[in-house]
Structure 1
């Protein structure tokens, strides 16, 4: 793993240095002020808006309360009337999300060399951090080993918001997500791997007529949920691919836990494995926009890169009577980000024809949340399984 960058600040009139950990790639803050239980939310919010991060040295629970208070101040900001144009509304919504993440990401907490949090009433986050960051390493040179106060335990800094996300993700990994298409068995997502909480697309793969039970490719397997569904449906061999090391480890763990590892081979590949199969399945990110965190890469696909890569290579990886299953939401169409005609043109340009399509409407709560600025688009969303084949067969 690459060494995290170093962040520097002054504390108690002495220079400090520590590693900077950020899963979304945010650069180290340029200015850091020390904060504790005496720091008021208004002061913290003002400093964060000005670009100064706050290194927390007080009670951990009070840090969480400060974060909540800062979030309330963001929510109280006067909101402009949402644009009538749905595409512009999407971009405004994303900008507001990014602003919120930036401000709330300014509250920092220290980690020691073993991923302990040297704060009063701090939870044990060692397992969550090890799973996200890898095994703990020796303390950084020039760090807190040379000081005598509480900063002596500081090997690295992380935003409290990210640390809470790590804790939550670790709980999801422990508990798992129940999958009806697997008979109620659970998929356990790793940190940074998209959780199959929206089960409707999984149901489509469980219900579509299989062209063959001999072999299938699962492109961009993620948690391995679709590969597991295909194995439970009787497909004798599935090759599941991904480029993300976390996804590869997650898929292997899940297929082993579900008892289908003898039929699912998880391999690292850029989209397709070698060879051809009578069934090739892909559930690419649904929205052509830039992701801002690792887990968002399963939702946002800049320029539809994965979608077009799958379509362009599909015909060359299908057997003569094979089918490609493309699982795709039309949310991007309702947001004005990808016209329906563009998708159909991409099929034609890739030498593909549509054999059929299965549709399902979303069941997640946001589709019914009228306060959501994107409610109209979400309420109209349909997720489809497109059955594709070479046009010249």
Structure 2
């Protein structure tokens, strides 16, 4: 969440009056410096030119027309001439990421304002109050430093609106709310559903869950740890498989709340303890499971930390601490896609060298092919890497059993 960040504000002129509002961006995008008012009369070509030049458009027209404007902007971005992807997969990946970032910047230039309590005062607008409440938390924008800034702006004669957000982000909030309401079916849980929170990685790609559901459990007694639990799906699978006690860790408050709610829904809360921790909890376990972000690249926004692991921080932290947290004879399960290998970002030799450096030995490996649509999309710039991708569950043990007892 961005609640601890210093408040940012946007300012513009409307109907001859100076106006100010607090800026909110879950992606960490800075407040735009230039804002112009737009409505149903605004032409898509004009909006595209302004957005490319760095001027944001605060929408005052019909909500559905605003969505159509976003679609029109996306078409203009996508029809720009594409260069042939370079032969080097790592270079192709970085160029693709840069293009994605530029696309997101332009589409993020269409803004809407939210009234106190997250009301959206546009024609034909949906009721977004509950969706925003679940994503952003209570509307306390009028307390603390924000209140002082509002009072100062009002004292200077400005008309202050409470909150301005990117329409694209708001649509993401609405979509996440629907996912949270409806849930994601998890075959490994017998078709029961997991309900992801906004900003928490959703188990829509079920291959890694299937691996955890079918891998043989260690024969040694003891609890299990689920490192970086997210929605709590893997901890719940382990509990459903008969593990009597699972300690699930995360450091994201949203993920912790999400995991607690899901374990309650799935009837395993008596066997799953959700705790705040950076990687490992205290003690040792017979089984330690981790599904870290698969791509060792820098996230461009906080919400991308579930996908990108800069410098392989979480992966290396898990491997380097694993042996010391295993019971003698216990196992660590690392669930990892080899997409980074096909992108030229982390060779297999680097991964196996990290196992050796951490005092680990490979007991077995289970593989599964991806089922997601991108693996079959020949128009995807990263199609060759995605088509070759394999997700693996590495069963790891301490190479030196005495290390697990130190």
Give the structure-2-normalised TM-score: 0.93
**TM-aligned CA deviation for residue 63 of structure 1:** 0.6
For 1:297-336, list aligned pairs within 5 A.
297-336=305-344
Is the Cα–Cα contact under 8 Å of residues 18 and 143 in structure 1 kept in the other structure?
no
Q: For 1:160 and 1:146, how far apart are their aligned partners in 2?
A: 29
Q: For 2:329 and 2:297, how far apart are their aligned partners in 1?
A: 34
- The yes-or-no answer on 1:131 pairing with 2:147 is no
Q: For 2:258 and 2:350, how far apart are their aligned partners in 1?
A: 33
Q: For 1:28 and 1:371, how far apart are their aligned partners in 2?
A: 34
What is the match of residue 94 of structure 1? 97
Q: For 1:158 and 1:57, how far apart are their aligned partners in 2?
A: 13
Q: For 2:302 and 2:199, how far apart are their aligned partners in 1?
A: 5
- Of the three residues 167, 172, 175, the one matched with 1:165 is 172
- Runs ≥4 in structure 1, deviation > 6 angstroms? 143-148
For 1:25-44, list aligned pairs within 5 A.
25-44=28-47
Q: For 2:107 and 2:141, how far apart are their aligned partners in 1?
A: 29
Is the Cα–Cα contact under 8 Å of residues 218 and 238 in structure 1 kept in the other structure?
yes
- The yes-or-no answer on 1:202 pairing with 2:209 is yes
> Secondary structure of 1:154's partner?
strand
> Secondary structure of 1:62's partner?
helix
Question: Which segments of 5 or more consecutive residues in structure 1 lack a partner in the other structure?
Answer: none
For 1:142-161, list aligned pairs within 5 A.
142=151, 154-161=161-168
**TM-aligned CA deviation for residue 152 of structure 1:** 6.2
Q: For 2:379 and 2:14, how far apart are their aligned partners in 1?
A: 44
- The yes-or-no answer on 1:85 pairing with 2:88 is yes
Q: State the superposition RMSD in angstroms.
A: 1.7
Instruction: Compare 276-285 and 295-304 and name the one that shifted more.
Output: 295-304
- Of the three residues 383, 386, 389, the one matched with 2:394 is 386
Deviations 1:120-170 (A, max 9, x none): 11110001111111101254515997999xx96831100000000000000
For 1:39-54, list aligned pairs within 5 A.
39-54=42-57
What is the match of residue 404 of structure 2? none
What is the match of residue 188 of structure 1? 195
**TM-aligned CA deviation for residue 376 of structure 1:** 0.7
Q: 1:17 to 1:83 in 2, by over 3 A?
A: same
**TM-aligned CA deviation for residue 76 of structure 1:** 1.1
Q: For 1:304 and 1:337, how far apart are their aligned partners in 2?
A: 10
Is the Cα–Cα contact under 8 Å of residues 143 and 155 in structure 1 kept in the other structure?
no
- The yes-or-no answer on 1:377 pairing with 2:388 is no
Q: For 2:67 and 2:152, how far apart are their aligned partners in 1?
A: 26
Deviations 1:366-389 (A, max 9, x none): 111111111110111010000111
Question: Which segments of 5 or more consecutive residues in structure 2 lack a partner in the other structure?
Answer: 402-406
> Secondary structure of 2:42's partner?
coil
Is the Cα–Cα contact under 8 Å of residues 229 and 259 in structure 2 kept in the other structure?
yes
Q: For 2:154 and 2:81, how far apart are their aligned partners in 1?
A: 46
Q: For 1:4 and 1:49, how far apart are their aligned partners in 2?
A: 25
Q: For 1:332 and 1:239, how far apart are their aligned partners in 2?
A: 29
What is the match of residue 275 of structure 1? 283
What is the match of residue 284 of structure 1? 292
**TM-aligned CA deviation for residue 293 of structure 1:** 3.3
Is the Cα–Cα contact under 8 Å of residues 143 and 154 in structure 1 kept in the other structure?
no
What is the match of residue 106 of structure 1? 109
> Secondary structure of 1:333's partner?
helix
- The yes-or-no answer on 1:20 pairing with 2:28 is no
For 1:238-277, list aligned pairs within 5 A.
238-277=246-285
- Of the three residues 7, 12, 15, the one matched with 2:10 is 7
